[in-house]
Amino acid sequence: MKVYIVKDYHEMSKKAASIIAVQAAMDPDSVLGLATGSTPVGAYEYLRKWSEEGTLDFSGIRTVNLDEYKGIAKESDQSYYHFMRENLFDHINVKEENTYIPDGEKEDIDAVCRDYEALIRKLGGVDLQLLGIGRNGHIGFNEPSETFPGECHCVDLAESTIEANKRFFESAEDVPRQAYTMGIGTIMNAKKILLLASGEDKAEAMYQTMCGPITPRVPASVLRLHRDVTIIADEAAMAKAGTR
């Protein structure tokens, strides 16, 4: 595990974008696992800038997103499909047919999860998986539980997750209560993992992830068992974990 402690969100974002850019340059047909939420937005801004300048080529890149709310239309401003188009896809030269996100509109939960797992396998797996971390240690939408879920599944969102995400909606009541997410097993099968953390509200989660027991009660803690994990976190997020 490689850990980089940086000054702030800006430095975290630039370093993360640089790592993703190197992956895309070294392997132009890479499969990138992408994340949503406020954490990766800064990194996506750098990737957009470099793509618009012509120094970064996404024409052969394939992408798979971690998750999507269940029961939300693609056209909704709060869907992760909309988020990815607004923050990245519409500004780089990635082919639309090479971008994949779980279908939140389908009602057949088993079919959505089965099809997404089959898609990832067909693509040859994820080369670099980008992750944020929730205040409760969740990665993707894998909430604290009694076991590590293996494959893509539909999850009931924890109240802390709903509270954290309500800023993207009119109110907490508007936040979907379920979401599709890659499982822990799928995430751990990625060849490389890049975890980002910023802000003092992530300090406890980072401490438990890096210094506590490996347990499904802190889903991100399992990353310590992966062969190639890079963590980039700012000083506020690492206030409790230090350099361990």
- Catalytic residues, by residue number, are 67, 136, 138, 143
Residue 76's CB: how many other CB atoms inside 10 A? 16
Query: CA-to-CA distance for 175 and 204, rounded, in angstroms?
Result: 24
Which tokens go with 4?
């980089």
Helix axes 41-52, 80-87, angle to 10 degrees: 40
CB contact burial 225-239 (16+ within 10 A = b; e otherwise): ebeebbbbbbebbbb
User: How far is the CA of 127 from the CAs of 30, 116, 148, in angstroms?
Assistant: 6, 16, 21
Which tokens go with 27?
């392997």
Residue 117's CB: how many other CB atoms inside 10 A? 18
